[in-house]
Amino acid sequence: MLFSSTPKATREELFDREEELSELEKLLNIYPIVVVTGLRRVGKSSLIRVYLNEHENYFMSIDVRKLYEMSFGNISSLHLTRLVGEELNKISKIEKLSSFLRKIRGISIHGSSVEIDAKQFELSDMFEKLEAFAAKNNKNFIVFFDEAQYLKFYGARGGEEIRMLLAYSYDNLPHVRFIFTGSEVGMLHDFLKFEDPDSPLYGRAMGFLTVKPFSFELSLEFLRKGFEELEEKIDFDLSEVVKQLDGIVGYLVLFGLKYMTMKNKDKALQEVFSTMSVLFEKELSEITKRSPRYMTVLKSIAIGINTWTGLKNVLHARGDFVSDSRLFSVLETLQKLSLVEKFQDRYRITDQVLERILRE
Ligand code: ADP
Ligand code: MG
């Protein structure tokens, strides 16, 4: 069903994205590491899940945001091992794989369930065994880290251990491939550090794919198809909805779901904005805790005060005599979080729905 709030998993549920699916396949054939970015709720997780489910590969998926939340901001190897264990449990049902898993230090298998002794278990050892398994079967083993920018909270060195492991795998394990997604594009780049000469991943070529919002036409078609699927007759102009929500499919889905219970376009739209307002508040809580400047700057940009001087004046008028370097770093962080983008010396909010919420 198109209007469902969880990420899609099968081709039939996925609207459009043919080009992205074939691009992803192409990139994975060339590069051991593929980085998929795009705004929040644009459909990254869905795209990749469908790809993984529909292709002749082995895979495991790690939701790094979940990992971050369950570890209260400091991810240890224990936390990661626990999620890896859950994933291995899912794939241990593949008969041939369980005999390989047995060879990994720290892993024991009872029936079809996998147990990991975290003290003995090493990710690098697991990757080596998975490489042997994949090579033998002439397939790839794909490790998918969703919202991977949170890996910078792994260990005590900003995720350095993971970068080292990735570099090792990149150079030595050709059948183990990685997909990283990130809604916070700058933060993801900060974690991967492929442009930093001191980083283990420096100089490794990677594939990049950006998932874009749907065009106006496609968004309309998406809504039309979604309502058709539910046999819902629509008596209003769908383009009104797309104008307000733009082509971010997560919002269109939310509208569809709200409409189905409320049967009123304006009320459903209102519900989308109020639901998102709560979600954004949660998503922005981290930076608003750090400094009230972030919210002031975001709100100012949303109402059109979008130049450097303009923003500085706003803060000064509030008695906050921010230095140039501090304001620079506030704006840089907001850009790294993909909340703000810069276009010809003006800043703007990347997401139309967030922009409207900030204006209210
Ligand atoms: P992201 O990972 O970019 O935040 P998700 O994949 O979680 O986005 O998608 C957000 C919402 O949009 C979910 O409800 C999902 O089911 C829906 N969705 C995403 N892509 C599609 C698509 N191509 N067709 C139909 N629904 C989609
Ligand atoms: Mg996602």
Residue with tokens 């980083």: 199
Protein residues with CB under 6 Å of any ligand 1 atom: 2, 4-8, 14-17, 38, 40-46, 183, 249-250, 253
Answering whether pTM is above 0.90, one says: yes
3-state helix, strand, coil in the chain (%, to 5): 55, 15, 30
User: Is the model's pLDDT at 93 over the cut of 80?
Assistant: no
Amino acid letter for position 285: S
Task: Please give the pLDDT value at position 331.
Answer: 98
The helix/strand/coil state of 116 is: strand
Mutate to test the pocket of ligand 1, among 5, 210, 249, 257 (most ligand atoms within 8 A of CB): 249
ipTM confidence? 0.99
What is the structure's pLDDT at 95?
66
C-alpha distance from residue 3 to each of 40, 66, 256 (Å): 17, 23, 6
36-74: per-residue pLDDT in tens? 999 999 999 999 999 999 998 899 999 999 999 999 889
Which residue has the least CA distance to atom 18 on ligand 1? 43
Interval 204-240: pLDDT, tens: 999 999 999 999 999 999 999 999 999 999 999 999 9
Q: Which is the closest atom of ligand 1 to the Cα of 211?
A: 3
Nearest residue (by CA) to ligand 1, atom 20, is 43
Q: How far is CA 161 from CA 123, 130, 157, 201, 325, in A?
A: 10, 19, 8, 11, 31
Statement: residue 23 has pLDDT above 70: yes
Residue 154 confidence (pLDDT): 97
pLDDT level of residue 98 (50, 70, 90 thresholds): confident
